[in-house]
Amino acid sequence: MSEAKTQQKLVGRSVARKEDGPLLRGQGRFAADVNFPNQLHMRVVRSTYAHGKILSVDLAPALAIPGVHAAWAFADVADIPPIDFRLTKLEQLAAYRQTILAKDRVRYVGDPVAVVFADDPYLAEDAAEHVVVEIEELPVVLHADGETGEFRDGLSTEPAIIRKGYGNVDAAFDNAYATVSLSLSIGRHSGVPMETRGAIGRYIAVTDMLEMYGAAKVPHWNRDQIAKMFGRPPASVNLFEGHVGGGFGVRGELYPEDVLVCLAAMRLGRPVKWIEDRREHLISTNHSRQQTHRIRAAIDRDGRILAIDDEFFHDQGGYMRTHAATVPDLAAAMLPGPYRVPAYRAIGHIRLTNKTPGGTYRAPGRYESTFVRERLLDAIAAETGVDGIEIRRRNLIDKSEMPVTRALETLGTDIVLDSGDYVRLLDKALNGVSWTELQAQLKQRRQAGELVGAGVAMFVEKSGLGPFDDVRITVSTKGLVEVVTGAASVGQGVETVIAQICADTLGVGYDIVNVIHGQTDRIGRGLGAFASRVTVMTGEAARLAATKLRDKVLATAAELMQLPADGLDIVDGEIVRSDSSAGPSMSLAEIATALAPGAKFLGEREPGLFAEASFESHHMTYPYGVHVAVVRLARDTGAIDIERYLVAYDVGKAVNPMLVEGQIVGGVAQGIGGALYEDFTYDDRGEPLSVTFADYLMPTAREVPHVDVIISEDAPSPLNPMGLKGAGEGGTNAVGAAVAAAIDDALGQPGAITQLPVSPQMIKAILKSRG
């Protein structure tokens, strides 16, 4: 008997990305690369006031310019309803939604007031400057934690309060050994992908089909919404995702401009293209993060948490957009993190201000609440005189307690921490930086006069949001495999990961697997790419579909080869005997040919070699991580240099460790931005001061240190057979918390850092105040 062939496993290996070739050759197809004959270009006229009453909009001067074909203000689009909520709807928020053009008030600098359509984008920009908008300025609200104001029609700028919690919080505080209280704030920053937004609308009269190109993140949901807003059947609208230049939560939500290009394509009978410029992006694409928290913990004599009580203010900006209450809801629901919190109360005030509206950004609500919670743990350590690591150990949920049901709910799911060994990961992280030696070195350096310190932060993430995902796999008569998914990609490597899973299950190479995503005309439903869900949900759906397909292939081969199906295997696209390399074999192409329409073998069978599967999941999976930061402060300038950074992250099962590491390191860079550099600031009239990359500072190759990554697989999720958890947000989550702790340590001043981002000026002020 000769040795049987076996398929080399792909899942778990760092194979090269399928996506890279075209992107490296300049053959990408991003939104701005999409062009149609006879297209018009749209330019948005935006409010230059943060808050005001629209007195008049005069479109005539723009319309008088040759080459300008149309211009609209609110009256022209008054029949289109405001943009609805996608997640975390609350009834009382409905009145705060944004219309596609401002009705009678503007609520932030950048609020779309009018649009012009011209033959050429330069001309459209010229014409937009000729639209005369008269606005009577109104008083602005710029602080979410200050006085409320009027949104409009007597509505308050506090539309809703999120309340979450369990247990008897007041009793816990009454009986506590000590109480620790903090006031903390997180600045306003956002995803800011390198590709600005873009949308191209096209209407095909002969089939009454409306199309939008430049879709991302949630194409199916947006398709249904656009159809609903225009009163069209969903089947008469299709969205197409091309290459997407980064998403991070902000791109792909339904924005006014997406609806406007579609409406214009129908009304004007020509394709309409809109590409956002960077200034527009910084004042009109979702902002995120900005919150202030007043948090306190009740503790016992050993520093164990008895209760946490948090009241926070969430700065939502001008309107409630598609995410509705998502970010404050997640902040409140995820705040307890990896610790035992016997009693808990969170009250989150959603506040409208006269700034760019907010939405989610990578680790939404968790970047904020991890900063707050970990500052609290550090404060408990300082209060009790117990080392911060030891305080965390005393409060961490033990592996033996898993799964842990928290009496909290978010994103329509109950929070059940599915699996985790938090203590073990903490040890891995500490070993990864040789914590004891590191502490000794830092102490020595501090004695020599350096301002250096280390900080640790822990967190629980969430991923794999359901409730479903579908996959359809088809094999062509050439033996090529096509996987159609309802997922989307924002550049994170979806095609590679799904191809790896499918190839392993089916028994083929991943190079012959073509993964389709973000095309609403190819699959009926799909939830897209957000909340670190794609690998978990689409990955498992792909595995299920590939398993079905494999069974079909083997059953067909068994008949054709006159061998029992259970004695066959598929190796590199060949159906072979599983017990020997001798004997007959067939190719996948031959099986597909045997089942092709009109083939003799077919008989009563359904033609085609394909399989479909859905994966349903009603609970999220919960990856968890530890960040360690080492910083050095410059005494003279206050400059903050991150010398060293480590992330340990447990993802249950890493399909492609290289891509997981890529997600983590990229996430850290964004987290550093929010911790040290990025801040959307406003003057006291609400004029945005961060409107170019010269004022909105993102980290460069100089500011991002080497990041050590420990990918851990100690706690596979019990919710899916591969044990998958999402990896997209763990790199970002705890950066603010870890960096703040490290700066405290460098200053030798526990609790010094109470707000993000930390600027050199702040460090200088702290140093100066100490004399």
Partner 1 sequence: MSDKTNIILNINGRDHAISVESRRTLADAIREECGQTGTHIGCEHGVCGACTVLVNGEPVRSCLMFAQQAAGKPIRTVEGLAKGDEMHPMQRAFMENHGLQCGFCTPGFLMLAVGVLEREPEISDENLIDVLSSNLCRCTGYQNIIKAVRAAAIEMRQS
Q: Which is nearer to partner 1, 13 or 278 (CB)?
A: 278
Q: Which of residues 240-269 bind partner 1 (CB under 8 A)?
A: 243-248
Least distance from partner 1 to the Cβ atom of residue 194, Å: 4
Q: Which is nearer to partner 1, 14 or 614 (CB)?
A: 14
- Residue from 110, 112, 193, 539 in contact with partner 1 (CB under 8 A): 193
Distance (Å, rounded) from C-alpha 515 to C-alpha 537?
Answer: 15
Least distance from partner 1 to the Cβ atom of residue 29, Å: 8
669 lies in the binding site for partner 1 (CB under 8 A): yes
**Omega cis (within 30) before 139:** no
Part of the chain binding partner 1 (CB under 8 A), chosen from 466-474, 588-596, 611-619, 694-702? 694-702
Length of the chain: 771
Q: Which of residues 462-521 bind partner 1 (CB under 8 A)?
A: 490-493
Tokens of 222: 């947006």
| 655 contacts 501 by C-beta, under 8 angstroms | yes
Tokens of 621: 């999976």
Question: Residue 689 is inside which H or E element, if any?
Answer: none
- Residue from 195, 211, 374, 650 in contact with partner 1 (CB under 8 A): 195
Q: Which is nearer to partner 1, 373 or 632 (CB)?
A: 632
692 lies in the binding site for partner 1 (CB under 8 A): yes
Q: How far is CA 748 from CA 436, 495, 741, 760, 763, in A?
A: 18, 48, 10, 17, 12
Q: Which is nearer to partner 1, 358 or 667 (CB)?
A: 667
Distance (Å, rounded) from C-alpha 372 to C-alpha 754?
Answer: 9
Part of the chain binding partner 1 (CB under 8 A), chosen from 238-246, 330-338, 509-517, 763-771? 238-246
Residue pointed to by tokens 């206050």? 638
Q: Which is nearer to partner 1, 151 or 680 (CB)?
A: 680
Q: Which is nearer to partner 1, 27 or 156 (CB)?
A: 27
19 lies in the binding site for partner 1 (CB under 8 A): yes
Least distance from partner 1 to the Cβ atom of residue 251, Å: 10
707 lies in the binding site for partner 1 (CB under 8 A): yes
Q: How far is CA 245 from CA 217, 520, 538, 629, in A?
A: 11, 20, 21, 29
Tokens of 677: 């550099």
| 110 contacts 47 by C-beta, under 8 angstroms | yes
Q: Binding pattern to partner 1, positions 71-100, x when CB under 8 A?
A: ------------------------------
Distance (Å, rounded) from C-alpha 519 to C-alpha 524?
Answer: 10
Least distance from partner 1 to the Cβ atom of residue 281, Å: 9
528 lies in the binding site for partner 1 (CB under 8 A): no
Part of the chain binding partner 1 (CB under 8 A), chosen from 386-394, 531-539, 668-676, 710-718? 668-676
Neighbours of 439 (CB within 10 A): 16
DSSP at 676? I
Q: Is 106 helix (H, G, I), strand (E, B) or coil?
A: strand
Least distance from partner 1 to the Cβ atom of residue 657, Å: 10
Distance (Å, rounded) from C-alpha 338 to C-alpha 625?
Answer: 9
Please list, residue by residue across 332-350, b when 16 or more beta carbons sit within 10 angstroms of its beta carbon and e when fewer do.
Answer: bbbbbbbbebebbbbbbbb
Least distance from partner 1 to the Cβ atom of residue 521, Å: 24
Least distance from partner 1 to the Cβ atom of residue 171, Å: 46
Q: Binding pattern to partner 1, positions 718-737, x when CB under 8 A?
A: -------------x------
Judged on CB neighbours under 10 Å (0-12, 13-18, 19+), 700 is exposed
- Residue from 6, 8, 9, 20 in contact with partner 1 (CB under 8 A): 20
Judged on CB neighbours under 10 Å (0-12, 13-18, 19+), 371 is buried
23 lies in the binding site for partner 1 (CB under 8 A): yes
Distance (Å, rounded) from C-alpha 424 to C-alpha 760?
Answer: 36
Q: Which is nearer to partner 1, 89 or 278 (CB)?
A: 278
17 lies in the binding site for partner 1 (CB under 8 A): yes
Least distance from partner 1 to the Cβ atom of residue 246, Å: 4
Handedness of CA 301, 305, 307, 312 (dihedral sign): positive
Least distance from partner 1 to the Cβ atom of residue 497, Å: 13
Q: Which is nearer to partner 1, 128 or 391 (CB)?
A: 128
Q: Which is nearer to partner 1, 159 or 491 (CB)?
A: 491
- Residue from 32, 178, 382, 386 in contact with partner 1 (CB under 8 A): 32
Q: Is 730 helix (H, G, I), strand (E, B) or coil?
A: helix
- Residue from 205, 206, 448, 701 in contact with partner 1 (CB under 8 A): 701
Tokens of 682: 């406003």
Part of the chain binding partner 1 (CB under 8 A), chosen from 79-87, 120-128, 159-167, 745-753? 120-128
- Residue from 39, 98, 196, 720 in contact with partner 1 (CB under 8 A): 196
Least distance from partner 1 to the Cβ atom of residue 40, Å: 15
Q: Binding pattern to partner 1, positions 278-297, x when CB under 8 A?
A: x-------------------
Q: Which is nearer to partner 1, 540 or 661 (CB)?
A: 661
Distance (Å, rounded) from C-alpha 160 to C-alpha 763?
Answer: 36
Part of the chain binding partner 1 (CB under 8 A), chosen from 13-21, 84-92, 385-393, 429-437? 13-21
Q: Which is nearer to partner 1, 245 or 256 (CB)?
A: 245
* Strands (E) located in 557-599: 568-571, 574-577, 586-587
Sequence-distant (6+) residues with CB within 8 A of 302 are: 384, 386, 394
Q: Which is nearer to partner 1, 280 or 540 (CB)?
A: 280
Neighbours of 194 (CB within 10 A): 9
Part of the chain binding partner 1 (CB under 8 A), chosen from 11-19, 56-64, 449-457, 499-507? 11-19
User: How many chain residues touch partner 1 (CB under 8 A)?
Assistant: 58
| 263 contacts 231 by C-beta, under 8 angstroms | no
122 lies in the binding site for partner 1 (CB under 8 A): yes
Instruction: Give the type of residue at 90.
Output: L
Sequence-distant (6+) residues with CB within 8 A of 432 are: 628, 646, 648, 708, 710
User: How far from chain centre, in Å, is Cα 587?
Assistant: 41
Least distance from partner 1 to the Cβ atom of residue 468, Å: 26
| DSSP collapsed to 3 states, 20-56 | HHHHHCCCCCCHHHCCCCCCEEEEEEECCCCCEEEEE
Identify the bridge partners of residue 22 per DSSP, sorted by sequence position. Answer: none
Residues at the contact surface with partner 1, assessed by CB under 8 A? 16-17, 19-21, 23-30, 32-33, 122-123, 126, 191-196, 243-248, 277-278, 490-493, 658-659, 661-662, 665-670, 692-694, 698, 700-704, 706-707, 731
